[in-house]
Every structure is written in structure tokens, then in C-alpha cells.
Amino acid sequence: MKYIQIIAASVIWGSAYPFTKYLVGEVSPLTAVTLRTSIGALVLLAASGVRFEPAGPRPRFFWKIFALSLLGVSVQQYVQAYALRFTSAGHAGWLIVTIPIMVAAAMALLGERLGRHKAAALALGSAGALLVVFSGAPGPAGTAAAAMRADMIFLISCLNWTGYVVLSRKWFSARSQAEITSATMFTAMLTLLAVWVVSGGAADLASLSFKGWLCAAYLGALSSALAYTFWNNSVERLGPVTASYFIYLQPFAAALSAYIFIGERPAPWAFAGGGLIMAGVYFVNMNGARR
């Protein structure tokens, strides 16, 4: 029973990519992200009841939360939504798994010893990501060149999340993950709504079909609220190392849901690249498991 929530969170996150791809086919990436974040923040705050009290000087505290909201929510989700207009949901599922490898590289740049296993992980992960990028996005996702550019843009969102993980550990290591998630999500909602209103994004809502609203509800209530709640609960019960292993269900959930929901067929070379990425992730975790 204790593994059900972590499996559900990974499957929900992996399945979010085809829903995002469908949604940005009807509205702009800004509108898609604003709807997702607003629904997610309101549901998360209502369900969790978390109260986040500032620690230390208030200006510095709020700037840190604002920076995390940009890295982990606003910019990260906008970049993903924009990229998914041109690349496939399956590619997104494989590329997102490069995050643990990027985190290992970031920690090495900050002075942590790399070691032969993490060096192998970086090599395999880089090769796998390049293979996914150059395999070409399947289906009517645009030209091959546009798909490759979109894959490279999607990797920027992985870098954003890497920065979020590193900085949240550095700034709020004593805080629970649920508190950080609620604070960053709510801050992102406020900033996105301001930009969305000023840019005239409300006009986009007229373009939303019933299916589009269902996609927004899935992304907000399930992917941005329920899945984060499940993830936080699982980290507390299983520990971050054990919980992190289940992230690697995401590419398979993305490929299956993309096939069922939007009829997307995965490219064989993308699976080969994904295999290299997963091998790299194995080597990243090898050091942690031995410790």
C-alpha cells in the first residue's frame, strides 16, 4: 500500500505531457500554464492546509521563494508547454529523466566529488539525450528541424528544475517539501495571473473546447496538486532515495498515454536514447545506494 501513492504520482506526471500537448494546440502556452498553475495552487492549498511562515529577514525570504517559483513552476512549465507544440509527448517523457543526471553534474560543479559512476552517468545521459533529440519527433509535430529545436528547448526546463532542486536544498533544507511546494505554487500563480491579464490572455479562453478544459483540470488538479501531495507523502514515508526510483516510470506512462490520447507512435531511436538515459540514471543512483 505504501507504494501506491508514489506510483500514482509518477504515472500522473508522465501522462501529463500528451494533455499539455493537446491544450497548447487550442490556447497559448502562457494560458495553458496559467490555468494549470492556478487550478493546482488552489486545490493544493485547500487540500493540504499548509501555512508557510517566513524564516529570517522577510525580503530575502520572499525573493528566494520567488526565484524558486520561477525555476520550478512558471518558467519550467512554460518552456515545457512551448516545446510540446513542436515535439512529441514521448520525447518529453524521455528527456525529463535526465534531471537526476543534471543534478549530479550541478553538485559536482559545486564541489561534490564526481566519481567514476557519476562520470559514466553523465556520458550515457548526454549520449541518450542527443539520440532522443536527433531521432525526430513522430507524427504531425512539425518538421524534423523544429522538433529537434523543441527537444533542446525542453531540456532547458530540465535545467530549470535542476536549479530548483539545488537551491531548495540550499535555502530550505529544514523545511518540509510540502511547504516549499505550496509556497512556490501560490507565488507562481500570482505572478502568472498578472502577466496573463496584462497580455490579454483571457481572450484565449474562448478557444477552449470541453476537451481542452478537461486537459486543464487534469494538469491542475491531478498533475500539479494531487501528484505533488502523493510525492511529498511518499518522500516522508519511503525517503527521497527510494522515492526517486519511481520517477523512471514517467517515460513509459508518457508513451502509453500519448498513444491512447493523441495517437502518437514512438520512434525506435527515441527508445534507444531513453535506454541510455536510464542506464545513466542507474549509475547516478549506484553511489547513493552504496552509501
C-alpha span between 194 and 200 (Å, rounded):
10
Q: What is the pLDDT of residues 74-112, one digit of tens each?
A: 888 898 899 888 887 877 777 777 766 666 666 666 666
Domain that holds residue 128: 4-290
Q: Name the nearest CA neighbour of 94 among 216, 218, 266.
A: 266
User: Would you state the pLDDT for residue 35?
Assistant: 93
pLDDT category, 239, cuts 50, 70, 90?
Answer: low
User: Would you state the pLDDT for residue 64?
Assistant: 86
User: Would you state the pLDDT for residue 149?
Assistant: 81
Phi/psi for 260 (5° steps) reads -75, -45
Q: What is the pLDDT of residues 170-189, one digit of tens each?
A: 777 677 777 777 888 889 99
Q: How many residues does the chain have?
A: 291
User: Would you state the pLDDT for residue 212?
Assistant: 92
Distance in angstroms between the alpha carbons of the first and the last residue of the chain: 27
Residue type at 123?
A: A
Q: What is the pLDDT of residues 31-44, one digit of tens each?
A: 999 999 999 888 88
Higher pLDDT, 133 or 165: 165
Rg (CA), the chain: 18
User: Would you state the pLDDT for residue 214?
Assistant: 94
User: Would you state the pLDDT for residue 171?
Assistant: 79
User: Would you state the pLDDT for residue 4?
Assistant: 81
Largest CA distance in the chain: 55
Cell numbers representing residue 135 in the block: 531521432
Q: What is the pLDDT of residues 241-257, one digit of tens each?
A: 566 667 777 778 888 88
- Please give the share of the chain, as a percent, with pLDDT higher than 90: 15
Q: What is the pLDDT of residues 103-137, one digit of tens each?
A: 666 666 666 665 666 566 556 655 665 555 555 55
User: Would you state the pLDDT for residue 261?
Assistant: 85
User: Would you state the pLDDT for residue 291?
Assistant: 45
Q: What angle separates helix 99-109 from helix 115-134, to the nearest 10 degrees?
A: 130
Q: Name the nearest CA neighbour of 191 among 95, 94, 62, 27.
A: 62
pLDDT category, 152, cuts 50, 70, 90?
Answer: confident
C-alpha span between 201 and 187 (Å, rounded):
19
Phi/psi for 174 (5° steps) reads -85, -10
Q: What angle separates helix 99-109 from helix 268-290, to the nearest 10 degrees?
A: 50
Q: Name the nearest CA neighbour of 77 among 7, 1, 157, 14.
A: 157
How many structural domains is the chain composed of? Answer: 1
pLDDT exceeds cutoff 60 at 260: yes
User: Would you state the pLDDT for residue 19?
Assistant: 92
Other beta carbons within 10 Å of 155: 20
What are the CA-CA distances from residue 175 to residues 71, 186, 248 (Å)? 18, 17, 26
Higher pLDDT, 220 or 275: 220
Average pLDDT over residues 186-203: 90
